[in-house]
Structures are given as C-alpha cells and as structure tokens.
Structure 1
Amino acid sequence: MAILVYPPTIDWDWMMQRPQQLMKYFARAGHTVYYCNRTLEDAPAEEIEPGLFIVKHHERWLEREWKPAKARLQAPVIVWCSLPQLASSLRQYDPDLIVYDCVDEFAEWAPYEREMAACADAVVCTSERLRERLDGRYPGKRLALVRNAYDLDMGLHLPNEDDAAMTPADLPAGPTIGYIGAWAPWVNPNLLLYTARLQRQAQIVVIGPEFGRPFAPYRSGIRFLGMKPHRQLSSYLRRLSVGLIPFRLTAVTLATNPVKAYEYLAAGIPVVSTSLPECRMMMPYVDTAADAADFHRLTLERLQDAGDREARKRFALCNTWAHRVQEIEAFLFG
C-alpha cells in the first residue's frame, strides 16, 4: 500500500471529477490519501471516509502533520499531480514517486508541461490522442493511458425504486433531451438550437454551471437549469430520454474522454455526441454525428427507439473508477 498526496489544485467540494474520483477509489483500494484543498481553514486534516483525508490548510498540514503521518504509516509516497504549473513544488513532499496525470489539452498549460514531464517518474493520460502526443514528445517516459470512468456511488445503474418521488421539480414533464456539464466555450450551442427549432417532441435542458460565457443569449427553445449539487445529478440523469455531448471539435475536445458519457450510459440512456475520437471508440454504445443535421437525426431516432439500455449499463459497469485504480496499480506496481 502507498500514501498518495494530491497537491492543492481543485477543492474537494468544487466538482466531483477525475482527481476526486481517483483519490476516493485509491483509498477504497487500501491506500492512504491526502487530498489538499486550496482553502485556508485552520483545522487538521479530516478523514471523510476510511483512508481518505481532506487537507483544509495545506501549509499548516505540511508544517505540522505531514511528517508525523508519513513516519507513522511507513509506506511509499506518491504525489499525483494533474496541474503542470505545480511541478517545481512537488519535491516538498519528499515523494518516492511523482505521477503526472495529463487530463486535458489546455493551451495555457503547455508552457509548463516539459518541466512537469521531466520531474515525473511516470505519466498517465486520459485519451489516445494525448497518449500519442506524449509518447512522441517524451520518448522513453513511463506512460499509460487510463481513461475516465463511472462512479458507482451515483447508483445510476441500479433500479429506481421510487421514480415519482425522485423526479426533480424543475424538470419538464414528458420526453427530455439533456446536456449535463459546464456551459463552456467548447459547447456548440448551435447544435442544441438546431434540434430545438426542428422538433417539438421533447424539451431540451442544460444542467451545469456557466463557465467562461453566459447562457442567456441561447435561451430560445432550451431550458437552462443551472448547476446542481453532485449528489442530485443522478435524479436528473435517470429521467433524460437522450443524453447529449454537443462539443465543438477543437484541440481540447479532440483530446477529451468525456466523463458524462459513462454517466449517461450507466443510466442506460442513449447518448448522441459530435464526432469526438474517444466517443467513436465507445460505439455502438454512443452514437456519433458527422454534422448538425446528423446530430439532429440521431437525437430524434433515439427519442423514438432508445435501443439496448442494459448493454449500455454493462459497458459502464466495465469502466468504473475502481477499474481505473486497478489499471494504475498494475502500471505503477505490477
């Protein structure tokens, strides 16, 4: 077993995505995990479930708690970092291993990546496109492709025993086409507007935070429900008739492996995406569209015929975060 440290990057309560999921499932696999928030709350690290500690004041923890904890646990220390800007600070934990988790192709991260790759003992990435680039740029570096996954805690794959009581009040009645995720520059609003304009069979909803741009200009025919707490997302996901991934094709999205695809599939609902390479690899469980007309056509077809829900659930259950931790353990320790 090992001690994993995730340095201050994203606070635990902000968004339950890849770093949080991996750290949670590392702890469940028997490792000890310290997830460091950026907050300055003067309190000791809190154990939120066995082996998983949230560090609320990083500097205080590093000064007072880290060395005694490391001496007590007597295990190898792995620093898991997904933000290359932090490369120069990672040696302060006196790690036995530094792992760079390359999760996105953001241009603003590029200037820092070479230093991060140089200090990392191993690199993990989320998509085949990232793997090919990293392998070409840093030949000889230990490298593994470990995609995103489904969080079993969401319970989307389980039977819904109390359907009426769990229906969110702000969801429209009847068939619902939904996009769950950040309303960000990589979302193509024209795909949603095109589908909303050409059909009246279902209401289109967007659930997620505004990120980098406001939603207001796109309200025609689309209901924006805003950001929901992660614990509530399951009740929305279950009630979608079709789940959408309406991304523009950019350097960022071509390298992304969308977490929401696994969540839609775990609920058994049809998924329609633009032609992202990682979504094409999920076919036939995900339908990928060549253009706006194709996106609209596939969405309408799935409204009329949802297809094999159980096959989608099985795919998701073969791609959980617990599976990803097993892949990483085999890569690092096997």
Structure 2
Amino acid sequence: MLYIGDGTSRRIPGSDRDCLLCFSHLRWRFVFQRPQHLMTLAARQYRVLYIEEPIYEPNAEAGLRAELDTSGVEILTPVLPLGLSEDEAVREQAKLTRRLLGALGGRVRVCWYYTPMAYEFSDMVVADIRVYDCMDELSAFKGAPRRLSDNERRLLAAADLVFTGGQSLFQAKRRLHPAVHAFPSSVDQRHFRKARRTDLSDPSPQACLERPRVGFFGVIDERMDLELVEAAARLRPDFEFVLVGPVTKISEASLPRLANLHWLGRQEYRDLPDFVSGWDVAFMPFALNRSTRFISPTKTPEFLAAGVPVVSTPVPDVVRPYGELGLVRIAHSPESLVTAVEACLNEPRQAWLRKVDDFLAGMSWEKTWAQMHKLVLSAPSALEEDRSSAIAASGRAGHA
C-alpha cells in the first residue's frame, strides 16, 4: 500500500493513460452506487484516482493511503492527525493534493467532483476538463457542512460540465450553469436480473422468515420515514418487512423494533440479488422532506430489473416516470402502502414484467458513461481556451 506523505517526490507507479481525478464524499467500499459504477467504467479509458474524504488518526503523519481496487480504480484516502480544525484540515488536504499532482507529473485530463467541498483544497488542479456530477442536493442532507453552498457556487463557476442525478435536480441546477445535463440513475441489469432465477439460495439472515416479505435495500438515514415503516408493520403483522443496508447519521436506537421488522445491516453488492429474489414486494419508504426533494433512487430500476413489484412514497423522481407509467405503485400513508402491497401480491406479473422490460430496454451504466464521455470529449478544453486566450492577447499586443 503506497503512502504519500511529507517529503515524497517520486512518481506514483502507473500507466501512461490520461489521468482522471475523482473527488468524492462517498467511500469506495461503503455501498456500490453511482460513483462506483461510473468510475469503474471510466477506468477502462483513464487512469482513475478516487479521492475519498479524510480519516483522522491520533498522531498521524498527513498523507494519502493508496489501494488498487480490482476494477482498476486507485483509491486514495487522506489520513490526517486527529484534532485538526476545519481550516487546518483543508490546508493539509491542499498540501496533499499538490504532492499528488507532483507525483503524477502534473498530468490530469479530467477532474471529476461528487462533492463541492473538495474544491476548497483542489482549486489549484490544472485539468483539461472539470466535471461536477451532482448526484444529490447535499446541502439538504443532515449534517451538511456549513460552507457547502459557497463551495458549490465556486465549483459551478469553474466546471466545464455539470451532470445531475435526476430530472428534479436538473430543473434546480439548469439555471446555474450553461452546460447542465440530466443523467438519472441507471442500472446494472445483468446483475439484478439474477434475482429472477428460481435456483438462488435464500441468504441466511432472511432464510428463516415467513412469507410474504416486503423488502428494501439501501442506506438507512434521515431520508427514511421510520414512522411509516413502523405503522405499516403494525397494520400487517403477517407481513415480514426486511430492510438491508447500513445505518448512517441516525441512531440505531431510533429504529423501530417489532417482531416482523428485520434490520439486516449492510450486505455486499454482489449478494443483493439473492436477497431480492426472496422478497415478494420491494418498498421504498422515503420521507418527504428537504433531503428527498431531489433524489432519484438508484434502487428503483434495480428493483424493477430484479422483477419484483415496487411500492414507493411519492418522491418526485419516482412518481415521474415510474408511477405515471404504472411501473411502481405510489403510497401516501401506511394504510395505502399496505393496500398497494396487497395489490402487488394479487396482481399477475407477466404483463407488468413486459412493461418493465420495455422501459428498461437499453438502460445501462455503460450507456450513461458513454453519453457522459462523449460530452467530456466534445467539451472545449480549459487548457485550449487558456492557450487561445493567450495567443489572442499576444496578437493584440503585437498590433498595439
């Protein structure tokens, strides 16, 4: 494992491919979602360095821990001494970014951001193209950094391209930048269609549960309506509610505890189809609050690709298009949620599955990345614009 700290001046071993630096607020090995899908694909064409948020350790020397993922993505984790102030942490990460650029020989083709907070310590990076892939309205999330909105304004001013994770977010950002493009959540259909098979083994955490089962996977945080979940479970004690995913930003103690509510914790991405194959209905009990106003849940097309009926609260990017097309049932209350689940259990699936497959046809992360990359390749290079400006300026000076 490479460690880039004080005094490091050697180049990082690697290929001669163009470099893509990706700054993300999500840890690579947390849950497999949009950044992981896209950067794994980007690694086929670029040398991808994925820079996570820092970890803090007592008496640590500031540095970057590097790990090579099987996908080819290089994961860089800043390690900082415990006890730094916010401003001190930014300064240390700026130093590490400069050392990283030196170790790379200054070669950066694409600088890709998932968090505006990273722009505070990386604004010195000279890249041909800067991309802001805005997958969520992070300023609306619980515990959002106080400087996030200011940093987003700076990043929007510097970015060449802005992508959004859904249509609602696109509508919110399109007036803030001249090149905003909507790329809603996509799906790895080959992976999740495994859930349609009949020969999968029921994972041990849920194998002992009765049917019918109503399941969810994803991060469990302030975006989940825990009161709705509890009320629905009380209304139908004969339903087994299975919730798979890590609990973050809320207390484990806040989770309702009932005999038919099962919190199974984080599971590996590779195992999710096995869990879904043992569910009769999937549900998405999102709260309707600031943190869900602009979300476009990746799990919507994932559940559909798995062939399991879906019930969701009326999140805008789920209502349109999924609810309006009859692919997902929309519920506004605990009572309507269990009624929708009952309807899913009694509805013949073949006609619904045909509609699902027609809608998902051609949808893939590969297609999303190809469309994004086409825009990256066709965008005016910031370096070329700088050169053109310099040439034009020198020409004017020569005629003065």
- TM-score w.r.t. the length of structure 1 is 0.85
Q: Confirm or deny that 1:49 pairs with 2:71.
A: yes
1:121-200 map, 5 Å: 121-136=160-175, 138=176, 140-152=177-189, 155-158=191-194, 160=197, 162-163=199-200, 166-171=201-206, 172-200=209-237
Alpha-carbon displacement from aligned partner over 1:140-195 (angstroms, at most 9, x marks no partner): 52111111111356x221353632xx211121132210121222122112322232
Secondary structure of the structure 2 residue equivalent to 1:48? coil
Q: Confirm or deny that 1:330 pairs with 2:366.
A: no
- For residues 270 and 177 of structure 1, the distance between their equivalents in structure 2, rounded to whole angstroms, comes to 10
Contact 1:48 1:54 in 2 (8 A): no
Q: How many residues are matched? A: 324
Unpaired runs of at least 5, structure 2: 1-16, 56-61, 80-92, 379-400
Work out which of the residue numbers 293, 298, 320 in structure 1 matches 2:340.
298
- For residues 288 and 330 of structure 1, the distance between their equivalents in structure 2, rounded to whole angstroms, comes to 36
Larger-gyration structure (1/2): 2
1:208–1:329 distance in 2 versus 1, CA, 3 Å: same
1:5–1:152 distance in 2 versus 1, CA, 3 Å: farther
Secondary structure of the structure 1 residue equivalent to 2:75? strand
- For residues 354 and 96 of structure 2, the distance between their equivalents in structure 1, rounded to whole angstroms, comes to 46
Superposed displacement of residue 125, structure 1: 0.8
- For residues 302 and 223 of structure 1, the distance between their equivalents in structure 2, rounded to whole angstroms, comes to 21
- For residues 237 and 6 of structure 1, the distance between their equivalents in structure 2, rounded to whole angstroms, comes to 31
1:1-334 map, 5 Å: 3-7=19-23, 9-28=25-44, 30-37=45-52, 38=54, 46=68, 48-50=70-72, 52-55=73-76, 66=101, 69=104, 77-105=109-137, 106-107=139-140, 108=144, 109-136=148-175, 138=176, 140-152=177-189, 155-158=191-194, 160=197, 162-163=199-200, 166-171=201-206, 172-216=209-253, 217-220=255-258, 221-280=260-319, 281-282=321-322, 283-305=325-347, 307=349, 308-316=352-360, 318-334=362-378
1:134–1:57 distance in 2 versus 1, CA, 3 Å: closer
- For residues 184 and 315 of structure 1, the distance between their equivalents in structure 2, rounded to whole angstroms, comes to 29
Overall identity of the aligned pairs, in %: 23
Alpha-carbon displacement from aligned partner over 1:90-134 (angstroms, at most 9, x marks no partner): 344321111111122233333422112112111111122221221
Superposed displacement of residue 265, structure 1: 0.9
Superposed displacement of residue 294, structure 1: 2.1
Unpaired runs of at least 5, structure 1: none
Q: Which amino acid letter does the alignment assign opposite residue 46 of structure 1?
A: L
- TM-score w.r.t. the length of structure 2 is 0.72
Cα RMSD over matched residues?
Answer: 2.8
- For residues 330 and 231 of structure 2, the distance between their equivalents in structure 1, rounded to whole angstroms, comes to 16
- For residues 377 and 154 of structure 2, the distance between their equivalents in structure 1, rounded to whole angstroms, comes to 24
Alpha-carbon displacement from aligned partner over 1:215-253 (angstroms, at most 9, x marks no partner): 445112311112222222221122211111111111221
